[in-house]
């Protein structure tokens, strides 16, 4: 059936009409604000490449989380920056470690907050890779030891869950990580803790500001041997299906905007909640262009999140979560 052109334009005439017939409606209830937790107290260290974001000590993180919740954002995602690092990432599963301490502080300050703990070793290892490394081979090369890494990830997830996380989010892209974590949680009587798996985490060039913020740049090589190749989309479906079979409750695509096709494909094929991570490089580009007056930062942020949601993501992780909540409550950018 064809429609006269003027009929299409009639419903675009005013902001109220456009909102009235909108197919995609953002909700602040979908938003997640990442936080970077560092050692000490009273620490709030700005991150140059992520305007508006800081490395926070556990007490400041609790204060920030309260403000995030009061803005209408229901969830935070925590990343740790320990004072001491070693080859095994020993502080990742320290019950008194930097993230566990922050989880407890946030839970005391804001009991209603959804607290998500990232489960990976890259922020805790002195080599910056996402797992335990093998011994050098005949060529002197080292790779991530998958089985040894699974033990460390399961232990880290257990500590975060016991500290009070509602959700643990394995991001190491280790084969079998979801099953190992689900088994550990269930055996500890923590069946109610959910798993948000970074199922389709691409070896992307958009992670630079995050690596500065989390101090997790690899000391050698890169992560392409265990993160996904940006050329592949069908592989993302296989990864997500495996994670769901192993016990994941939510699957994630990271980065967000460059992989809208992947989000859409997963939404068409799978009946599970999907999260999209609007990553540090995406956010930093918008901020840099807005600071120079090249784009309207609010409109660009809002549009980016609309696109992620339209593609099929119910959960939107973004460094602009608080600003997005304010825009949503105001009916969108002017």
Q: Is 85 a catalytic residue?
A: no
Q: Tokens 């991530």: give the residue.
A: 144
- At residue 132, the pLDDT reads 86
Q: One of 104, 127, 129, 254 is an active-site residue; which one? A: 254
Q: Are 224 and 65 in contact (CB under 8 A)?
A: no
- The 10s digit of each residue's pLDDT in 237-250 is 999 999 999 999 99
- The 10s digit of each residue's pLDDT in 43-78 is 999 999 999 999 999 999 999 999 999 999 999 999
Specify which residues 114 forms β-bridges with.
75
Rounded CA-CA distance 187/304 in Å is: 40
Q: Are 89 and 125 in contact (CB under 8 A)?
A: yes
Q: Does the pLDDT at position 150 exceed 90?
A: yes
pLDDT band at 3 (very low <50, low <70, confident <90, very high): low
- The 10s digit of each residue's pLDDT in 198-235 is 999 999 999 988 888 877 788 777 788 889 999 999 99
Computed over its alpha carbons, how large is the radius of gyration of the chain? 20
Q: In terms of Cα–Cα distance, which of 178, 110, 174, 118 is closest to 146? A: 174
- At residue 10, the pLDDT reads 78
Q: Are 304 and 278 in contact (CB under 8 A)?
A: yes
pLDDT band at 15 (very low <50, low <70, confident <90, very high): confident
Q: Are 206 and 281 in contact (CB under 8 A)?
A: yes
Token digits for 25? 């409606």
- At residue 239, the pLDDT reads 97
Q: Are 293 and 256 in contact (CB under 8 A)?
A: no
Q: One of 60, 201, 223, 265 is an active-site residue; which one? A: 201
User: Which positions ≥6 away from 111 have C-beta within 8 Å?
Assistant: none
SS3 content of the chain, % helix, strand, coil (to 5): 45, 20, 40
- At residue 14, the pLDDT reads 85
pLDDT band at 137 (very low <50, low <70, confident <90, very high): confident
Torsion on CA atoms 215, 43, 316, 100, rounded to nearest 10: 80
User: Which positions ≥6 away from 138 have C-beta within 8 Å?
Assistant: none
The 10 Å Cβ neighbour count of residue 64 is 20
The domains of the chain are located at 25-329
Q: 25-329 falls under which CATH superfamily?
A: Aldolase class I (3.20.20.70)
Q: Tokens 């580009």: give the residue.
A: 285
Q: What percent of the chain has pLDDT over 70?
A: 97
Conformational region of residue 40, where left means phi above 0, alpha means psi within -120 to 50, and beta covers everything else:
left
Q: Is 254 a catalytic residue?
A: yes
Token digits for 117? 């703990």
Token digits for 183? 């088994």
Q: What is the mean pLDDT of the chain?
A: 93
């Amino acid at each position: 059936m064809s429609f006269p052109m003027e009929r299409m334009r009639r419903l675009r005439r005013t902001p109220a009409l456009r909102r009235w017939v909108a197919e995609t409606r953002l909700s602040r209830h979908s938003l997640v604000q990442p936080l970077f937790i560092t050692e000490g107290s009273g620490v709030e260290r700005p991150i140059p490449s992520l305007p508006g974001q800081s490395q926070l000590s556990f007490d400041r993180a609790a204060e920030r989380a309260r403000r995030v919740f009061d803005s209408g954002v229901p969830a935070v995602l925590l990343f740790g920056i320990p004072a001491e690092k070693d080859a095994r990432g020993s502080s990742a599963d320290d019950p008194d470690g930097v993230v566990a301490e922050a989880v407890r502080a946030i839970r005391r300050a804001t009991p209603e907050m959804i607290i998500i703990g990232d489960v990976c070793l890259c922020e805790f290892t002195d080599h910056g890779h996402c797992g335990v490394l093998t011994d050098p081979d005949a060529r002197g090369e080292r790779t991530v030891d998958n089985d040894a890494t699974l033990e460390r990830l399961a232990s880290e997830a257990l500590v975060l869950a016991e500290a009070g996380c509602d959700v643990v989010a394995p991001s190491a892209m280790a084969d079998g990580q979801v099953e190992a974590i689900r088994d550990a949680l269930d055996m500890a009587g923590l069946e109610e803790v959910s798993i948000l798996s970074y199922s389709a985490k691409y070896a992307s060039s958009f992670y630079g500001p995050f690596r500065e913020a989390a101090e997790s740049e690899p000391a050698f090589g890169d992560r392409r041997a265990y993160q996904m190749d940006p050329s592949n989309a069908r592989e993302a479906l296989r990864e997500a299906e495996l994670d769901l079979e192993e016990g994941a409750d939510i699957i994630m695509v990271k980065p967000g905007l460059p992989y809208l096709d992947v989000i859409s494909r997963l939404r068409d094929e799978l009946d599970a909640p999907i999260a999209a991570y609007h990553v540090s490089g995406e956010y930093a580009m918008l901020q840099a262009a807005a600071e120079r007056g090249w784009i309207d930062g609010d409109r660009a942020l809002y549009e980016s999140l609309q696109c992620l949601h339209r593609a099929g993501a119910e959960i939107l992780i973004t460094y602009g979560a608080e600003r997005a909540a304010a825009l949503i409550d105001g009916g969108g950018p002017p």
